[in-house]
Structure 1
Amino acid sequence: MTILNVVGARPNFMKVAPLHRALEQHDRFDSKIVHTGQHYDEQMSDVFFNQLELPRPDVYLGVGSGSHAEQTARVMTAFEEVVEDMEPDLVVVVGDVNSTLACALVATKLHVPVAHVEAGLRSGDRRMPEEINRLVTDRIADYLFVTEQSGIDHLRQEGVSDNKIFFVGNLMIDSLVHFREKAADTSIVEDLGVEEGTYALMTMHRPANVDHEEGVRALLRIIEDIAAERSLVFPMHPRTRNRFEEFGLEDELTSVEGLRLLGPLGYLEFLRLMETAAVVVTDSGGIQEETTFLEVPCLTLRDHTERPVTIEAGTNELLPLDPARVVERVREVAPTDPSAEQPRYWDGRTADRIVEVLEAEGHEASVPAS
């Protein structure tokens, strides 16, 4: 059974790595990796492949960046040739990036079954392109692998049959569990000269936060005020860095005392920084999940989250891009040590459960009780 695992942007790598390892342990499966090249930074892609112990991609499409329409179209055109040439038995797509939607559409039109990992997640905000990608992919996928109960609830509300839904857990946590000890051996915390359990860690890249000057100025104020009270480590997304330059705020940013401004980091280094931070300020989806497992306070600067289990666990909180409010909450939650009941199946064995489903292909399956 030939399976094409699609990766496009860096978060996909952490999800595909444990699944590829699990598939390779079974003679029945021939697991292939297709890298669409959606992510702009090939050097960072190489770092992630090496750190996550992934083999070099069997296929690299090199589509590059562009508008959503351009990128999706280029992935579809290139991936169609791959599917026609390799004749896979299954295409696995993960997450909610443009490559996810594009490859799911191509496979479906060529009558190849599609499995969607992280199915059913919904923010309720269709202004987010990721939300559109999730909705469409889930409508056409044959296997819907769910990370949390809300995913099951959404899919059922949308009329999806239970025999397509599989509550398996979270592949991101599989990678975290597998590499946690290795991440602890990195020297990133010492190299930055920060003290474990005292500093704040930030990531920020969502268009709603950084694609307009008002948002970037609010972000700068947040950075200044947090860094005035504690060390702040900020691995900066190129999109965000470009906006600071565009709005003429780069010099103000780089002059902030107490700020450790970095480029994109490898997976192991960032995992270490998350685990030893006092608080994480982000607008990322996956980081909300990882901080929940690590029991690190997380402040998510968004109006909605597609991962409500992180809110229910008590480790994550949604906040507006309001400097006074964000800094106040950083001050309040940084000293805390939230003890979270881990979400169901976030145990490092999600990949094995997915393989079990695929091994039982053709048999009726039911969703475990909530």
Structure 2
Amino acid sequence: MKILTVVGARPQFIKASAVSNVIRKCHKEILVHTGQHYDENMSQVFFEELNIPRPDYNLEVGSGNHGKQTGTMLIKLEEIYIKEKPDFVLVYGDTNSTLAGALCASKLLIPLAHVEAGLRSFNRKMPEEQNRVITDRLSNILFVPTDSAVENLKREGIKEGIYNVGDVMFDAILNFKKLAENKNEIIKELALQDKEYILTTIHRAENTNYIERLKNIVEALNECGKPVVLPLHPRTKKYMTDYGLKFNDNIKVIEPIGYLEMINLEMNSQKIVTDSGGVQKEAFFMKKPCITMRDETEWVETVENGWNIVVGTDKNKILDGIMNFIPDKTQKNIFGKGDAAIKILEVLNK
């Protein structure tokens, strides 16, 4: 069986690291990197440190408006699909790479499998939400990570081809946690004290593209009085400059880092403050309190389980979360047993 996998952004590299290694034990995989993340620190380093096979194709699409980026991917992917004639196309998550990979497979009548299907924030203004909904509608096989994702699909009338396999990111955490423990040079370089710093990520367009939202986030971090480590996303860096915003000395701003270094920072942090979907889950896996700077989350289980609070970009709510949020519940096993990749392969084999 020939499976063509489309990836293009950091979370997808991490998920593919778990699934591709399992697939390649018994099937042929063609790996296509769209180039949606083109910065070396955001892309190339993941293939190296996670031992992901080198892409068979790199489309080098780069950044751009949604229409241009997705359209360019479609044109290039169609040529590859026709040439390779895969039995399945496999896509991950909710990026423009996911949408382009799904649309192209559907147009060419190639069976489509979506890993991380069924997630919903119920905010259709989010590009990611649009991509999720469309991809799920086009998919023949929907690999969902949680029970709530199953229910989301059923409410939308999708009742066939759904497989609750657990979360492939949990697979990745279990695979790489030991390696990550040895990536503590960054802790020493930044002179950080174990369990005394806040780890922060800011990258979503809904936060970076609006000055008031980004300003509130920056002011909350500046005023929290705690050491904060912030791997700065290129988009956020650009808008910080455009808006004339600056961080105080308690914020240690660093370049984007590799996955293993990020896991090391997460496991040694006191709390995590983020607008990332993936980092919310990683915080849960690491048993770290998470303060989510969004108006909603697709990972509702982490909130219901008491380890994540959604505060939007209200400065006072962010500050209160940093200073006072302490989970009051024991974690439940809600993301599977770390065998999602094996279950995905079993379904594809059938």
- Please give the range of the TM-score, normalised by the shorter of the 2 chains: over 0.9
With normalisation by structure 1, the TM-score equals 0.92
- Percent identity at matched positions? 40
- Of 199, 206, 215, the residue aligned with 1:201 is 199
Q: Which residue of 1 aligns with 2:106?
A: 108
Q: Distance in 1 between matches of 2:221 and 2:138?
A: 42
Q: Which residue of 2 aligns with 1:222?
A: 220
Q: Which residue of 2 aligns with 1:9?
A: 9
Amino acid at match of 2:15: K
- Of 155, 161, 166, the residue aligned with 2:163 is 166
Amino acid at match of 1:340: Q
Q: Which residue of 2 aligns with 1:354?
A: 344
Give 1:84-233 correspondences, 5 Å limit.
84-162=82-160, 164-186=161-183, 187-226=185-224, 228=225, 230-233=226-229
User: In 1, are the aligned partners of 2:5 and 2:29 still within 8 Å (CA)?
Assistant: yes
Q: Distance in 2 between matches of 1:78 and 1:113?
A: 19
Q: Which residue of 2 aligns with 1:23?
A: 23
Deviation digits for residues 35-87 of structure 1 (CA, Å, limit 9, x no counterpart)? 01011313431101011111210111111110000000000000000000000
What 5-or-longer segments of structure 2 have no aligned partner?
A: none
Amino acid at match of 2:311: L
Q: Which residue of 2 aligns with 1:285?
A: 277
With normalisation by structure 2, the TM-score equals 0.97
Q: Is residue 342 from structure 1 mapped to residue 333 from structure 2 by the alignment?
A: yes
Secondary structure at the aligned position of 1:77 is classed as helix
What 5-or-longer segments of structure 1 have no aligned partner?
A: 361-370
- Of 227, 243, 248, the residue aligned with 2:244 is 248
Q: Distance in 1 between matches of 2:292 and 2:259?
A: 20
User: In 1, are the aligned partners of 2:143 and 2:163 still within 8 Å (CA)?
Assistant: yes
Q: Which residue of 2 aligns with 1:365?
A: none
Q: Distance in 2 between matches of 1:170 and 1:353?
A: 11
Secondary structure at the aligned position of 1:6 is classed as strand
User: In 1, are the aligned partners of 2:41 and 2:258 still within 8 Å (CA)?
Assistant: no
Corresponding residue pairs, total: 349
Q: Distance in 2 between matches of 1:89 and 1:332?
A: 52
Compared CA separation, residues 60 and 9, structure 1 to 2 (3 A) = same
Amino acid at match of 1:17: S
Q: Which residue of 1 aligns with 2:318?
A: 326
Q: Which residue of 2 aligns with 1:239?
A: 235
User: In 2, are the aligned partners of 1:203 and 1:234 still within 8 Å (CA)?
Assistant: yes
Q: Distance in 2 between matches of 1:43 and 1:267?
A: 10
User: In 2, are the aligned partners of 1:293 and 1:342 still within 8 Å (CA)?
Assistant: no
Amino acid at match of 1:32: I
- Of 27, 47, 50, the residue aligned with 2:48 is 50
Secondary structure at the aligned position of 1:220 is classed as helix
Amino acid at match of 1:12: Q
Amino acid at match of 1:339: T
Q: Which residue of 1 aligns with 2:286?
A: 294
Deviation digits for residues 278-326 of structure 1 (CA, Å, limit 9, x no counterpart)? 1100011111111111110000011111111111221111002111221
User: In 1, are the aligned partners of 2:41 and 2:256 still within 8 Å (CA)?
Assistant: no
Compared CA separation, residues 166 and 160, structure 1 to 2 (3 A) = same
The CA deviation at 1:151 is 0.8
Q: Which portions of structure 1, spanning 4 or more consecutive aligned residues, are displaced by more than 3 angstroms?
A: 336-339
Q: Which residue of 1 aligns with 2:309?
A: 317
Q: Distance in 2 between matches of 1:44 and 1:330?
A: 27
User: In 2, are the aligned partners of 1:121 and 1:151 still within 8 Å (CA)?
Assistant: yes
Q: Distance in 1 between matches of 2:151 and 2:58?
A: 36
Deviation digits for residues 158-186 of structure 1 (CA, Å, limit 9, x no counterpart)? 11123x00000111111111000000001
Between 190-199 and 12-21, report the one with greater CA deviation.
190-199
Q: Distance in 2 between matches of 1:67 and 1:172?
A: 28
Q: Distance in 1 between matches of 2:211 and 2:294?
A: 17
